[in-house]
Amino acid sequence: MALLWTQKQDVGPAGRIFPAMTFDAAHGRAVLFGGEDASGDVLADTWLWDGADWTQVSDMGPSARAGCALAFDAARERVVLLGGFPLTGTLADTWEWDGAEWTQVADTGPSARALSGLAYDAVREQVVLFGGGDNTNLLGDTWAWDGTEWTQIADTGPEARYTHAMTFDVAGQRVLVFGGVSAPPATAALADTWAWDGATWTEVAHFGPPAAEAASAECDGHTVLLFGGGIATTSPIVPFGGTWQWNGQHWTERQDMGPPPRMAAALAFDSGRDRYVLFGGAGAPPTGSIDFPYLGDTWETFDPGAGSG
């Protein structure tokens, strides 16, 4: 069965790559923060999506950055933000959004990094961080945030990487990681799938989506949706628009008609309305060009054959 997509609007946040977005279930809004615009500037704006309109709600809080990690901590009803990259360097600060304002809650814990993965582990009621990159290295460490402090919980598992997709797999009751870019000297886009059960990382799939960086993943309470990403088979990288679903055991490619190919987009699942929300990213360059368009469109997708999330 094909997924149904609808373009909602292109009025709201400016086009950007590597914004961060998650769904704030306590307040019924998708929260979008930061990113890099087409002029190369990093952004510090906060936007809320209610299913009809974008509203900019705050320009006070985390400093301007792209590639930060964002997740909703359901136990404490807070959106958690970590790291990212400003114009130079990387950041290590942790912030929380309570539906009205940002508060910095930590500046110690994981080392400075950007383009890492962050997901809320609903079984163990903690926010899990994996990987990312700093100015010189890619990282392969795993950390947990309990609302008060960060604790490193693993230093082995998937190889070091950044720009991977990461979310919580409700069916498997595990945190899921797909793809990304590996560290030198064998720098390459990855196609592996790993799961974290609270104690151990396990590679759970060798077949499925093609190797990709900067794909987007989210779970609807039943299956994990993976959309887009970059295929590094040519130069420049070619964004694609493939859609895959993970059912807790294996990947299945889905037929879809909707958003054009893109990478470095933001994806969230609105559990109140049973809708995936996709925003922005880098589209495919026009014929004869090497310049990626920075997208500012908003799409929603849902599966009429699935139950409510």
Mean pLDDT by runs of 10 across the 309 residues of the chain is: 81 96 98 97 98 92 98 98 96 98 96 98 98 96 98 97 98 97 85 97 94 96 96 76 94 88 97 96 87 95 56
For residue 227, what are the contacts with CB-CB under 8 A and spacing of at least 6? 215, 216, 217, 241, 242, 243, 244, 259, 265, 267, 278
The CATH number that domain 13-300 falls under is 2.120.10.80
pLDDT digits (tens, 9 = 90+) for 146-166: 999 999 999 999 999 999 999
The confidence score (pLDDT) of residue 286 equals 85
Q: What residues are paired with 129 via a beta bridge?
A: 118, 143
Residue spans per domain, the chain: 13-300
Q: Do strands 3-9 and 256-257 pair parallel, antiparallel, or not at all (unpaired)? A: parallel
DSSP label at residue 235: S
Q: Give the Cα separation of 157 and 166 in Å (integer).
A: 14
**SS3 label, residue 47:** strand
DSSP class of 3 = E
Nearest to 152 by CA among 188, 192, 214, 108: 108
Peptide bond into 236 cis (omega under 30): yes
| pTM, 2 dp | 0.95
Summarised one tens digit per residue, pLDDT across range 171-198 is 999 999 999 999 887 778 999 999 999 9
On whether the CB atoms of residues 244 and 224 are closer than 8 A, the answer is no
Q: Both tokens of residue 150?
A: 């960060």
